[in-house]
Amino acid sequence: KKNKKKMSLLYKNAAEILGRIRSREGTLRTILYDENSKYGQRDIKKLFSIVHNTLVNIKMLKEVSTRTGLDENVEHQDLLIILLYEKLLSQRKKIIGGGQLKRIIVEALMKHADQVSKIFKQYGINENESVKKSEPIKPIYIRINKHHKDVSGIIDQLFEHFPSDNISMDDFLPNLIKIEGINSHDFRSIDLYNDGKIVIQDKASCLPVYALKPKGEGDTIDCCAAPGNKTSQISEYSQGKVFAFERDARRFKTLQSRMEHLSCDNVECLLQDFLETDPNDPKFANVRYAVIDPSCSGSGLQSHALVDLDSDRNDAAERERLKKLSSFQQKILEHALSFPAITKVVYSTCSVNEIENERVVARALENEAVQDKFEVAVALKKWHRRGLERYPFGHACIRVDPKKDGANGFFLALLKRKQD
């Protein structure tokens, strides 16, 4: 009975996570590994597997739900989808516990067995085998925390934990290591991670700070800082102070904890909305650099792309959502550019949508106050994939293709103050 109750809670947690991903609260990894996460360490690996494989097969599972009538008879749709995955596609092919909802699902599947068989054939899946994973495990990228001086010693310790054939230095970014054939939760038990000597961070996410490279004693602002991966990276480069803004109290707590864990002593975390800050406050008089990675659609992230395959939103609603996001992103970019001493700003998103990327930069440049003082500079000249050519500054921006570049979909633009 104890095990059945536990597995029932596992399903409920999996359904909650699926719902949070579908409502764009975060990715599977960020939700599971948030330092304030309520999900127990022992269950994280199981939760990751269940939710990931559900997302991979969500279109098929929704079709089963519709054709069997379960979508009309079950109130909690996310829990229904999770249980359908467990019953139809998992290795054990059964629901542990589940009570009345389990009985409803099993009866519906038996009643509509012919329909379910047709769906299996439609998606090329053998009913007698567990579903195959959609694709090989993506490489995991880890960044060495340069606040810890013994970089070579850290690399040596990595070779002690993982096969040498799986480990390689990234060919573009310094201090970034690619490890293949493992999941990110394999790091959670090793001392290097728990001691803050390494940071799990997607390659694309490392690009903005590398493009900005804050130098000297000028201060830097991270406008939308939590959970803090980019903030910690800024901290490593900067000899000045780093002001990290986060308006959400829960995420702010995560940010504070992370900065302490990663020994980022030059970071001051601020629980406030960046848009409400006064650029002329003497506190920010020495701010020369800014990193802007605002809330976005996350369309470049794998888990969001999988959800989009089964989006219930109609096109008009989706266009309106993107329009609001784009307007918000433009406001943050223009506000950062209004700081009197600012010389260089990097704007990035984990979106592949033009409206959140080149178009945001183009509209900001239509503002005379911005146009007279700033221009888009060529970012990371050696990066092979550039921005959209229909924009005059497109060649200066960079894009990351999630299908071709082994990292999340991403966009980056670097704006510099014009020379007088």
- For 231-257, b where at least 16 C-beta lie within 10 A, e where not — what string? bbbbbbbbebbbbbbbbeeebbbbbbe
Q: Which of 264, 296, 350, 397 is catalytic?
A: 350
10 Å Cβ neighbour count for 404?
9
Longest Cα–Cα distance in the chain: 76
Q: How far is CA 17 from CA 7, 34, 90, 306, in A?
A: 15, 12, 18, 14
Q: Is 397 a catalytic residue?
A: no
3-state secondary structure labels for all residues of the chain:
CHHHHHHHHHHHHHHHHHHHHHCCCCCHHHHHCCCCCCCCHHHHHHHHHHHHHHHHCHHHHHHHHHHCCHHHHCCCHHHHHHHHHHHHCCCCCCCCCCHHHHHHHHHHHHHCHHHHHHHHHHCCCCCCCCCCCCCCCCCEEEEECCCCCCHHHHHHHHHHHCCHHHEEECCCCCCEEEECCCCHHHHCCCHHHHCCCEEECCHHHHHHHHHHCCCCCCEEEECCCCCCHHHHHHHHHCCCCEEEEECCHHHHHHHHHHHHHCCCCCEEEEECCHHHCCCCCHHHCCEEEEEECCCCCCCCCHHHHHHHCCCCCCHHHHHHHHHHHHHHHHHHHHHHHCCCCCCEEEEEECCCCHHHCHHHHHHHHHCHHHHCCEEEECCCCCCCCECCCCCCCHHHCEEECCCCCCCCCEEEEEEEECCC
CB atoms within 10 A of CB 169: 12
Q: Any idea which residues carry the catalytic annotation?
A: 350
